[in-house]
Structure 1
Amino acid sequence: MQQQVPRAEDPLTRLNDLATAYRANALAEPAYYRVMFEQTVPGFRPSAEALGAAESAFDASVAAVQACIESGVFGPRDAHEISKILWAAAHGAVSLEIAGHFPPEAAARRFTTLMTAVGQAFLADEQGQGRTS
């Protein structure tokens, strides 16, 4: 997934691009997405290779969040924890979309709105301090 995302100079743009790629990949391979993340096959556990690929994608998110922190876009917080929260939001929206709960004409807008809203919780304020939440 990360190879498909152009390397943006702006760290927040990079983070948003990764989220968009996550959604695009899930929509392109909904059966794979369901098997990997929704335990649609009882007792199935993804292979070490598949888990490694997922971990690599998550590491890219952590790095993008860390770049947002270092640039002052996000306040000083734990990049790993922020990434987990962003992933939870993205995963929820994508899962609902794949299940047909979001009509196609509204899904992209809802995804963007959700990710923007969640990301705002981590923005640095005018004094360079992170918001508390």
Structure 2
Amino acid sequence: MPRVLSESDVADFRERLCEAAERLFAERGPDAVTMRQLASELGVSPMTPYRYFADKEDILAAVRANGFNRFAEALETAYSKAEGARAKGSAVGEAYVTFAFEHPHTYKLMFDLHQPMDAKYVDLLAAAQRAHETQTQYVKTLISDGVLAGDPDEIGNMMWAAAHGAVSLELSGKLPPGSARGLVRNMNRALARGLRP
């Protein structure tokens, strides 16, 4: 009779499977990775992953949700440690770039894939929303302190687009190594000047 798995057993295996999947997805691309390869990485039978996930798309959604949550946590920590609206904005920008370059494979899996963000993947949807909120919270603080004026979601999206563009260009070798950080700072300053009350 098979052993009954505890919640911690299930969580542990799911975590190990997601770590292996993230590495393989980054190395080969999600389309080139099979459930059999994932099972082999963990030394389990080909059917074992199906006890924990419905299919490969389900695993990809879990990997991406984990990435969005880690990303959001990095930005939330930066925001909470900084003092004052401007410092919070700078800290979040720095944390964004730092996360992207410390975890480039995770970053690419989060943002460079098309995967439905719908009710089928509730955890992914929640994690992506959390990450989005971390990118608008500092803008709301800047607006409430009178530093910026405008719609916080729209401004947050502009700042995000600027940061993502610079990071993606450097990650793909289109900008010199180390240049995205300064470029993000300069773009954010320029945007802030144009958005003053």
The size of the alignment, in residue pairs, is: 120
Structure-2 separation of matches of 1:30 and 1:104: 13
Structure-2 separation of matches of 1:66 and 1:33: 25
Structure number with higher helix proportion? 2
Structure 1 unaligned residues grouped into runs of 5+: 125-133
**CA displacement, residues 56-115 of structure 1 (integer Å, 9 cap, x when unaligned):** 12212222111111111112x211111011111111011001111111243322221122
**Percent identical:** 30
Note if contact 1:90-1:111 (Cα within 8 Å) is conserved in structure 2.
yes
1:68 aligns with 2:142: yes
Q: Which has the larger radius of gyration?
A: 2
Structure-2 separation of matches of 1:63 and 1:109: 22
CA-based RMSD of the aligned residues comes to: 2.0
Larger RCO, structure (CA 8 Å, separation 6 or more): 1
Structure 2 unaligned residues grouped into runs of 5+: 1-73
Task: Give the alignment partner of residue 152 of structure 2, picking from 61, 70, 79.
Answer: 79
Residue type at the aligned position of 2:151: D
1:107 aligns with 2:180: yes
Note if contact 2:136-2:156 (Cα within 8 Å) is conserved in structure 1.
yes
Structure-2 separation of matches of 1:105 and 1:62: 25
- TM normalised by structure 1 equals 0.77
User: Is the alpha carbon distance of 1:45 and 1:31 closer, same or farther for their aligned partners in structure 2, counting shifts above 3 Å?
Assistant: farther
